[in-house]
Amino acid sequence: MRIQIYYIYDHLFFDISLFSEDHDTKPINGDLLMQNNSTGYKELGLVNSSDLFAKAVKGGYAIPAYNFNNLEQLQAIIMACVETKSPVILQVSKGARNYANQTLLRNLARGAVEYAEELGTPVPIVLHLDHGDSFELCKDCIETGFSSVMIDGSHLSYDDNVALTRKVVEYAHQHDVTVEGELGVLAGIEDEVASETHTYTQPEEVEDFVTKTGVDSLAISIGTSHGAYKFKPGEDPKIRLDILKEIETRIPGFPIVLHGSSSVPQDLVKTINEHGGQLKDAIGIGEDQLREAAKSAVCKINIDSDGRLAMTAAVRKVLAEKPEEFDPRKYLGPARDSLKELYKHKIINVLGSDNKA
C-alpha cells in the first residue's frame, strides 16, 4: 500500500493506490539511502520541485525551466533569476550530458547555488533531468545529485508508459527526488523520435495515470512542440487551452508541465537572418497564450529554443560587425547578456514567477 499526499489549493488530498507487494515502497529518508559513492542533491544545496509547484499552482504562476549546456547559459539563467527573485529549474537533457559531461554539469549546478548567494539573493534551484528515456538514466541522475527527473514514456503504449514511470517514481521517491511523467505526444522531434502530428493528451486518462504512477507532475500535449518551427505559415498558432481546462477538472490542482513553449521572437529571427542565418518561417507559441496557461495549474514551462535564438543572434551580430574579433568572451559575453534579458522578460511578462523566490 502506498499513500501519497498532495496539497491542492488549501486542502489536503490523499491518494491511496494499491500496488503489488514487490512494487511497494516505504517512506525512507533519501539521504540515508544514498550509497557512499553517490551524491545527494541536498548536499549540493538544491531543492526538489514539491514546494515550488505547490506554491506556483496556488499562486497562479509557473516556474521557469531553462535548459543549460555550458557556463554562459548557466550564468545568464542565475543572473536573471537573482535579479527578478525567481525560483528556477535548471534542465539538463541527455544531449547536454553527452555534450558537456554530467560531472561538470552537476558541479556547475552546485556552483550556481553559491553564485546566487554571492549575487545577494539565494533562489531555490532545482536540477532536473529533461526527457529521461530510461530507468537507468534516471537512476544515474538521482545518484549523482539531480533533485528532479523526467521519465518520458510518452512514445510507449499507455500500459508500458505507466509501468516505466511507476518504476522510476518508486526509486526516485526513496531519495526524495520528484518525478515528471508525460502523457500525449508533441509534434516535432521529442527524444529523437519524430512525430508529424500532435497526439493530444486525453483528459480521460490523466487521473488513472497519476494515480497508478505516483508522479509529482504531468507534462501534457496541447499543441506546443519542440524547436523553432512550431506552426506553418498560414496556420492559426493556437494551443488547446480547452484541453488544459478539461485536464484540470479531472485532476484539480495537480501540477501540469508544458514542454515546447518557446515563442520564437521574430526580432531575433530577423537579426539572425540579417547576419548570415537562414531560419525560414520559424514560428512559436504566442506569449499571451503561455501567460494564460501559467495562471492555471501549469506550474512549469520549458523554454530552450528561444535562448538558442538569443545567443545565436548576438554571436552572429558581433562576428558580422567585427570580423577581426577572435576572443570568445567578446561574442559569448554579449550572447550571455542577451540571454539574461530574454529570461528576465519571460519571468516577469510570461511566467509571473518574479518575487516568488
Cell 555550458 locates to 70
C-alpha cell at 1: 500500500
* Phi-psi category of residue 123: left, alpha or beta, with phi > 0 → left and psi -120 to 50 → alpha: beta
CA distance 16 to 65: 30
Kindly indicate which of the ranges 23-31, 77-85, 100-108, 255-263 contains the residues binding Zn ion, using the contact rule CB under 5 A: 255-263
Kindly indicate which of the ranges 53-61, 89-97, 107-115, 211-219 contains the residues binding ligand G3H, using the contact rule CB under 6 A: 89-97
The binder of ligand 13P chosen from 137, 303, 314, 351 (CB under 6 A)? 303
Q: How many residues bind ligand G3H (CB under 6 A)?
A: 8
Catalytic residues: 130
Question: Whose CA is closest to 265, among 222, 228, 320, 315?
Answer: 228
Q: Does 94 bind Zn ion (CB under 5 A)?
A: no
C-alpha cell at 188: 516535432
**Residue 144 contacts residue 39 (beta carbons within 8 Å):** yes
The binder of ligand G3H chosen from 2, 106, 110, 131 (CB under 6 A)? 131
CA distance 342 to 347: 9
Site for ligand 13P in 124-183 (CB under 6 A): 130-131
Nearer to ligand 13P, 286 or 328 (CB): 286
The binder of ligand G3H chosen from 2, 106, 128, 226 (CB under 6 A)? 226
Q: Out of Zn ion, ligand 13P, ligand G3H, none, which partner does residue 261 contact, by CB within 5 to 8 A per kind?
A: ligand 13P
Kindly indicate which of the ranges 77-85, 275-283, 297-305, 331-339 contains the residues binding ligand 13P, using the contact rule CB under 6 A: 297-305
**Residue 174 contacts residue 28 (beta carbons within 8 Å):** yes
Run of H or E residues at 232: none
One symbol per residue from 251 to 280: x for binding ligand 13P (CB under 6 A), - otherwise; what is it?
A: --------xxxx------------------
> Looking at the DSSP assignment, which residues form a beta bridge with residue 7?
12
- Angle, helix 71-84 to helix 305-321, in steps of 10 degrees: 110
**Residue 105 contacts residue 130 (beta carbons within 8 Å):** no
Task: By CB under 6 A, name the binding residues for ligand G3H.
Answer: 67, 93, 95-96, 130-131, 226, 304
Binding positions for Zn ion, rule: CB under 5 A: 259
Residues that bind ligand 13P (CB under 6 A): 67, 130-131, 226-227, 259-262, 302-306
